[in-house]
Chains A and B, each alone.
Chain A
């Protein structure tokens, strides 16, 4: 099972090396820096965990929809709305104790993300409107709405962020339990993300609702036959996906900056799609692939001192491209080699 991804990784290292050579740099040096600074010390690992955290949420947002054969490109917007509400609730109710305010701000985030998911879900279920177009459009609307509120109504003047959240609703950094992570913003959200991934796995494989969603995704006419309410399940799937994405801002807002800021996501809503694809939509696989993408993101930051920023973006993209394509191609090829099952013998 791991052969495909490993070959893909190797090839992308080679392909990336050619790019590095072509701008007159030494690939060995660049890669050594890339690996050494990300995996080579506790601070780097902390950074990887930090970068991986929102990807788990957005990866789930894509994967849950993929399971129902729905394409959710709207995690970015769902996460933005959710994160904005999390920040808003956290900063507005300053007086409340943490045990109320923390859950309240997370519920606000989930509700916002879910609402943003339900809209394209409902349009799909009721009118058959294609969810790809609609989730993309919802991303633009989310950006516009939040940006309007931040610049005109609730933002701190002359900035693009909300006021700071109440200290009672922040999530502790891991460095306060494990001093080795000193300086890295990785925080308790990481564990929450892992737990949510495990929960999603159990939900999909062990509950009747998860069963219905998977049946719907694999064979819609059979779902109809099994009296599975299709429209209702489409909407529920989008609500759940949106709720996951809505939690994606927790890492930044409750665990790092302690306010909502425009541009906080750095595109993690879109990278979530790649995270889900590489994990073959398996929520437990998403934990692993999120860490991988977290490493890519942080590793590229570390080499910015020796190569231009564009090159690290190119490297990242090559790895993603080859990993996803080749894992699929090689995976299929290896499977065929191993067991040529007769189609109808």
Chain B
């Protein structure tokens, strides 16, 4: 049976054609991958299916019944559920409370019936072989578990068609495996799953069929067995992507960044870094691999001066930078661009000044020097291919990839010798990832020291001269990239290696 049949869907936003005469169908009980670059229209199409947007024209049938879906609550009524990229959970509430939120069971006199809900959800957990502590508060859980809670929310509402919007960029390899296991379990119970993604090896690994979109149109739909990684990549981008050049030349012997015995606390005042020492040469990329929450975020914050170390010294370019006054400029691509890297309600021009507002080139005695700021903004937006290159546009109105280009443009044009890049390609599409990688390699060849933190191990293996693994706030492994393997990194990351 056909679970979802969308025909001739067209949707405009102003003058932008987000979906153009799109046909999309999914068979019942399959895992269907929907792939495409950012802005290809896949999120729009799924938001139409979930009732968030109304199509300008076209028809939708669910299980061969023609329907209209004016709102998400209608979609839920039809058994359609969606896990969004940004989770819709309330951090201080428990898993149980979050699952029932909006659909709370009550006793005859109107009192919340948590015991009954717990019974129901426990049955769900057993049936789908999912393991979650229902009484844990969301804020104490890892991203992978939180995502599991989002899926449970849908199952609790009897969803049969589950839409997952880019579920894996936030996950570690292990969490991704666990997610896929869960998805297989759901499929075995007859659920239909639509997976929005642009990670093609995931498509190949898990999906039964795949639909490729580009610029608002469907380019191809076929069973996964009848296509290949390269074929999908070509269909998505529209042309072949040139391979990244290998690392050229050896790093110098002069250190650009040295950490000596750094210890620091996390936000809950527990030890996050324990006696960390490392050194990055000029013209070297040092990759940091770690499972989320093992001190890599705090490491980045300590180096960039946001977090104060309790012990140890930071030496940048031979200067002791342990106190904020002496800290030289650092190019910092933060792990959460929307939270730290940008002020979404500022214009692009204003965002390009963030952290650089005191640079002499941008202001006179009192006021900003409009012409030089404007010129800098226009040059940067053009060089880093931000679309649209309109310096007066609010950052909020840009896609994630273009927002990241704004951050990168600002940080790479800074007069600094040290780059700290935390998950610089998280959530970006193939074209943008390629751009970020080339930018980092270019800066390396210009003799900058680069610290690269990433949960994408392939990325670390491609870009880094050396890789260090962090576990429990310590550095537990240092290897030249060509002398290690993914398996070895994985063992040290999860603390299962016998060292």
Contact = CB atoms under 8 A, between A and B. Distances in A.
Interface stretch (A108-116, A145-153, A212-220): A212-220
Interface stretch (A79-87, A222-230, A307-315, A327-335): A222-230
B340 A341 contact: no
Contacts of A336: none
B interface residue count range (under 10 / 10 to 19 / 20 to 34 / 35 or more): 35 or more
B343 interface: yes
A211 B367 contact: no
Interface in A193-207: 202, 206-207
Contacts of A208: 357-358, 363, 368
Interface residues of A, number: 24
A340 B355 CA distance: 32
Contacts of B472: none
B421 to A, nearest CB: 14
B346 A218 contact: yes
B343 A206 contact: no
B305 A219 contact: no
B341 A344 contact: no
A24 interface: no
Contact of B340 (A206, A225, A342, A345): A225
B339 interface: yes
Given A218-B343, A340-B13, A211 B332 contact: no
Contacts, number: 84
Given A219-B339, A225-B340, A226-B357, A341 B399 contact: no
Nearest to B394: A341
Contacts of B368: 206-208, 211
A221 interface: yes
A215 B340 contact: no
Given A207-B368, A345-B41, A212 B357 contact: yes
A207 B367 contact: yes
B85 interface: yes
Nearest to A229: B324
Contacts of A211: 350, 353, 357, 368
Contact of B305 (A207, A227, A343): A227
Given A206-B367, A341-B13, 20 more contacts: A202-B367, A208-B357, A211-B368, A214-B346, A215-B343, A218-B346, A222-B341, A222-B342, A224-B340, A225-B355, A226-B356, A227-B324, A340-B13, A342-B13, A342-B16, A342-B47, A342-B53, A343-B43, A345-B13, A345-B44
Give me the 10 closest cross-chain CB pairs, A-B, nearest first.
Answer: A226-B355, A225-B340, A206-B367, A219-B343, A345-B44, A208-B357, A226-B354, A218-B343, A221-B340, A344-B43
5 contacts: A212-B357, A222-B340, A225-B340, A225-B354, A226-B354
Interface of A: 202, 206-208, 211-212, 214-215, 218-219, 221-222, 224-228, 339-345
